[in-house]
């Protein structure tokens, strides 16, 4: 057998939740059975494999046919395994380190450092000898920085190693700026903020800089401890712009986009066509002409342009469920980034073009969309709900788009505050509004309803249910070439799948879902146990929440049951958490650092003027889109509150 085959068969414990762990359970059991403490392994590679086998045995991962006696026998060997592993690494010193740590495969470098540190080899061995031995076996700096004991033991030497190459700035980026990194990064204590600033600046200006990391530096928050200041961010922005320009100069890319138009002959209110990755939305002029009254205009945003779904949850935010596999696992995202993907960009583009199209259409009919919004606050809320004193002032007809955008952001904050005071007090006191100067926190805007939104509580059980049912990475998406789908839910709904159809390694998951009451086995088919429960779960996965008062009575009962079992919680706010994040992304820096920050820039007068009036027109359209979305949510809150008959003093 070649050394490559031997390496490929090495047992590695990936963790209890990783499917790869189950695949090697048989091999781990074989090694555990053959283990003889009187004849222990002699190489670091074999000892590290034994360490991984020990973890299999400790976690109880054995072949399906293992008896209780065999399990007990294997677990009885754990103390002897630990002793053999500890003795091997306790014997490493300056004289033999180079020989003993040689030839450990890359996949086991982290284990090597963990066992060296655990057995105090770093304290016994001088930095020069140990680091030389680790470098000789191919342990890279990134793996070293993931081991806290090594970093603490060889502080100044690792600081010097970091400063020796500007490309090592990527470790600083991973430490402070990148989200969801595989391993934690520990920087030496002697590595100062001045060092970080020098390394990051050198990286931004280097020929080998990765545009993804340069982008993270550009959007990172200013922080003296990380070495990021305004000048460095500007350098990174300019370098990123140059890199992007150079890339597309030589690469045509893939055509994506969106087109909108109005048809004089079309009967359907809307038709959507796809040509490759270009979407075309065509709207019926007849429909638009028949819906020019104020209520219909706002309804068209909600239903025709689909700014919200059937539960009045906005479709505009970036939802994790819409991210593709590549976008989820292979993109570089900052810790303070709003994580957007192709789906968000498509909806963002189409909704902005829809707003532009409708604004143009209404203007041609002599209708001012801002006047429609003013009607909503000053007439509709009074007539339908008796809500007095709301006001919205449209921008002047002769104003520039710069002035209109500034005005609209100010008015949006005003109506948000007006609703907040009304929801809290049951009335809108204009005098109280006049002395209220707190900034608007979109995630904290109150609702008139108790427990309006349902959220998964973050526990492993509900997270596992959502992953197994709806994720394209679920272990239940594929049974055979004839039985597979994008998700387990889709597979079960679209096919008659019997329990026997599932592979043996899948059945434990199916059993668990049946025990939890998510699935049921009729004898001939495994299927969704409850339609109402399924709709709630699907909403939790797709939009990160469910709207309680839009559910049927049975759906609400299912939510109440989930609350009782600790799966979900209910919280009250005007906007869902994801919707609040969407507003924050566009308007400010409260939550994210990679957003347009339009509210701050326009109200503080720091917007760029290089692009002229066209840029301000785009911002104005974005402001219109945001305030229309806010109107949709405020209207929904009023309608639900009226339907539920919820007195504000009972909240």
Q: Find, among 378, 290, 363, the residue nearest to 621 by Cα.
A: 363
Residues 23 and 108 in one domain: yes
Residue-level pLDDT at 339:
92
Helices assigned H by DSSP within 275-341: 285-290, 294-299, 325-329
Residue 226 within a domain: yes
Residues 185 and 316 in one domain: no
Helices (H) and strands (E) in the chain, counts: 33, 8
Query: In which band, very low, low, confident or very high, does the pLDDT at 613 lie, cut at 50, 70 and 90?
Result: confident
Query: In which band, very low, low, confident or very high, does the pLDDT at 649 lie, cut at 50, 70 and 90?
Result: very low
Residue-level pLDDT at 21:
62
Higher pLDDT, 8 or 198: 198
Helix (H, G, I), strand (E, B) or coil at 525: coil
Residues 536 and 436 in one domain: no
The conformation of residue 182, written as its DSSP 8-state character, comes to: S
Longest CA–CA separation in the chain, Å: 93
Helices assigned H by DSSP within 426-503: 430-435, 460-470, 488-494
| Whether the Cβ atoms of residue 429 and residue 421 lie closer than 8 Å to each other | yes
Residue-level pLDDT at 526:
96
Residues 109-119, mean pLDDT to the nearest whole number: 96
Residues 546-555, mean pLDDT to the nearest whole number: 97
Residue 33 within a domain: yes
Residues 58 and 76 in one domain: yes
Residues 68-89, mean pLDDT to the nearest whole number: 94
Residue 102 within a domain: yes
Residues 296 and 440 in one domain: yes
Query: In which band, very low, low, confident or very high, does the pLDDT at 651 lie, cut at 50, 70 and 90?
Result: very low
Q: Find, among 181, 622, 162, the residue nearest to 404 by Cα.
A: 622
Residues 336 and 307 in one domain: yes
pLDDT tens digits, one per residue of 336-375: 999 999 999 999 999 999 999 999 999 999 999 999 999 9
Residue 283 within a domain: no
| Whether the Cβ atoms of residue 460 and residue 549 lie closer than 8 Å to each other | no
Residues 418 and 400 in one domain: yes
Residues 31-40, mean pLDDT to the nearest whole number: 93
Q: Find, among 541, 576, 586, 593, the residue nearest to 322 by Cα.
A: 541
**Residue 51 pLDDT > 60:** yes
Q: Per the structure, how many domains does the chain have?
A: 4
Residue 379 within a domain: yes
pLDDT tens digits, one per residue of 226-253: 999 999 999 999 999 999 888 877 776 6
The conformation of residue 438, written as its DSSP 8-state character, comes to: P
Is residue 282 within a helix (H) or strand (E), and if so which, with residue range? strand 277-284
pLDDT tens digits, one per residue of 123-182: 999 999 999 999 999 999 999 999 999 999 999 999 999 999 999 999 999 999 998 777
- How far lies 580's CA from each of 376, 444, 546, 571, 592, in Å? 22, 8, 15, 13, 12
Residue-level pLDDT at 4:
40
Residues 601 and 633 in one domain: yes
Residue-level pLDDT at 349:
95
Counting every residue written for the chain, the total comes to 651
Residue-level pLDDT at 3:
39
Alpha-carbon Rg for the chain in angstroms: 30
- How far lies 466's CA from each of 178, 453, 526, 544, 585, in Å? 26, 17, 17, 11, 26
pLDDT tens digits, one per residue of 264-311: 999 999 999 988 878 999 999 999 999 999 999 999 999 999 999 999
- List, as one string, the DSSP characters of 15-36: -TT-HHHHHTHHHHHHHHHH--
In whole angstroms, give the CA distance from residue 67 to residue 57: 14
Residue 618 within a domain: yes
Among candidate residues 189, 223, 253, the one where a domain is terminated: 253
In whole angstroms, give the CA distance from residue 105 to residue 112: 10
The conformation of residue 144, written as its DSSP 8-state character, comes to: H
SS (H, E, C) 384-400: HHCCCCCCCCCCCCCCC
Residues 477 and 527 in one domain: yes
By 3-state DSSP, what share of the chain in percent is helix, strand and coil, each rounded to 5? Answer: 60, 5, 35
Residue-level pLDDT at 334:
86
Range of the domain at 120: 1-139
Residues 523 and 547 in one domain: yes
Residues 373-391, mean pLDDT to the nearest whole number: 97
Residue 273 within a domain: no
Q: Find, among 2, 18, 4, 13, the residue nearest to 81 by Cα.
A: 13
In whole angstroms, give the CA distance from residue 38 to residue 47: 14
Residues 310 and 441 in one domain: yes
- How far lies 23's CA from each of 29, 46, 428, 503, in Å? 12, 20, 63, 13
| Whether the Cβ atoms of residue 448 and residue 651 lie closer than 8 Å to each other | yes
Residue 98 within a domain: yes
According to DSSP, the residues that pair with 262 across neighbouring strands are 283
pTM: 0.82
Looking at the chain, the whole-number percentage of residues with pLDDT higher than 90 is 80
Average model confidence (pLDDT) across the chain: 92
Residue-level pLDDT at 19:
53
Residue-level pLDDT at 20:
58
**Residue 5 pLDDT > 80:** no
Q: Find, among 153, 115, 547, 557, the residue nearest to 314 by Cα.
A: 547
Residues 134 and 96 in one domain: yes
pLDDT tens digits, one per residue of 524-539: 999 999 999 999 999 9
């Amino acid at each position: 057998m070649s050394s490559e085959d031997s390496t490929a068969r090495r047992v590695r414990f990936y963790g209890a939740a990783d499917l790869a762990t189950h695949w090697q359970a048989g091999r781990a059991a074989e090694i555990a059975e053959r283990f003889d403490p009187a004849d222990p392994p002699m190489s670091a590679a074999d000892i590290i494999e034994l360490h991984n086998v020990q973890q299999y045995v400790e976690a109880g991962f054995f072949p399906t046919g293992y008896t209780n006696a065999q399990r007990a026998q294997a677990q009885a060997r754990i103390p002897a395994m630990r002793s053999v592993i500890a003795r091997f690494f306790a014997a490493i010193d300056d004289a033999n380190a180079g020989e003993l740590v040689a030839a450990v495969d890359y996949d086991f470098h982290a284990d090597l450092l963990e066992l060296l540190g655990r057995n105090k080899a770093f304290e016994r061995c001088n930095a020069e000898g140990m680091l030389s031995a680790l470098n000789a076996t191919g342990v890279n700096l990134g793996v070293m920085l993931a081991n806290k004991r090594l970093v603490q033991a060889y502080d100044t030497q690792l600081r010097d190693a970091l400063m020796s190459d500007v490309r090592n700035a990527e470790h600083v980026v991973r430490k402070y700026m990148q989200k969801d990194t595989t391993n934690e990064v520990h920087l030496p204590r002697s590595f100062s903020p001045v060092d970080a600033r020098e390394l990051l600046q050198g990286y931004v200006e280097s020929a080998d800089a990765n545009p993804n990391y340069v982008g993270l530096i550009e959007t990172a928050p200013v922080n003296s401890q990380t070495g990021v200041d305004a000048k460095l961010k500007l350098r990174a922005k300019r370098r990123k712009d140059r890199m992007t320009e150079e890339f597309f100069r030589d690469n045509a890319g893939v055509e994506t986009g969106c087109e909108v138009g109005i048809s004089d002959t079309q009967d359907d209110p809307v038709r959507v066509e796809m040509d490759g990755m270009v979407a075309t939305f065509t709207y019926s002029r007849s429909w638009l002409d028949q819906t020019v009254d104020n209520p219909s205009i706002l309804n068209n945003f909600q239903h025709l342009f689909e700014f919200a779904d059937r539960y009045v949850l906005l479709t505009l935010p970036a939802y994790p469920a819409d991210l593709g596999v590549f976008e989820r696992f292979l993109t570089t995202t900052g810790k303070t980034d709003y994580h957007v993907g192709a789906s968000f960009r498509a909806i963002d583009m189409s909704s902005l073009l829809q707003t532009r199209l409708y604004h143009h259409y209404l203007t041609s009919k002599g209708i001012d969309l801002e006047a429609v919004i003013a009607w909503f606050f000053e007439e509709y809320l009074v007539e339908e709900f008796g809500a007095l004193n709301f006001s919205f002032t449209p921008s002047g007809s002769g104003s520039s788009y710069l002035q209109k955008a500034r005005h609209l952001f100010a008015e949006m904050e005003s109506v948000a505050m007006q609703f907040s005071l009304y929801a809290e007090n049951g009335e809108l006191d204009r005098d109280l509004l006049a002395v209220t100067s707190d900034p608007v926190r979109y995630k904290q805007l109150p609702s008139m309803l108790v427990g309006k939104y349902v959220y998964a509580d973050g526990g492993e059980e509900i997270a596992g249910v959502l992953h197994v049912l709806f994720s394209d990475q679920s272990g239940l998406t594929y049974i055979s070439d004839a039985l597979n789908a994008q998700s387990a839910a889709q597979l079960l709904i679209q096919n008659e799948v019997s329990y026997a159809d599932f592979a043996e390694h899948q059945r434990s998951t199916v059993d668990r879902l049946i025990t939890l009451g998510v699935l049921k086995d009729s004898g001939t088919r495994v299927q969704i146990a409850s339609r109402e429960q399924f709709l709630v779960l699907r909403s939790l996965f797709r939009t990160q929440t469910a709207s309680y008062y839009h559910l049927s009575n049975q759906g609400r009962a299912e939510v109440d049951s989930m609350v009782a079992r600790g799966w979900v919680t209910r919280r009250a706010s005007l906007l869902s958490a994801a919707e609040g994040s969407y507003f924050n992304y566009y308007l400010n820096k409260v939550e994210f650092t990679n957003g347009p920050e339009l509210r701050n820039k326009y109200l503080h007068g720091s917007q760029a003027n290089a692009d002229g009036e066209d840029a301000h027109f785009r911002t104005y359209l974005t402001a219109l889109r945001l305030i229309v979305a806010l109107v949709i949510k405020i209207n929904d809150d009023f309608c639900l509150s009226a339907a539920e008959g919820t007195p504000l003093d009972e909240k």
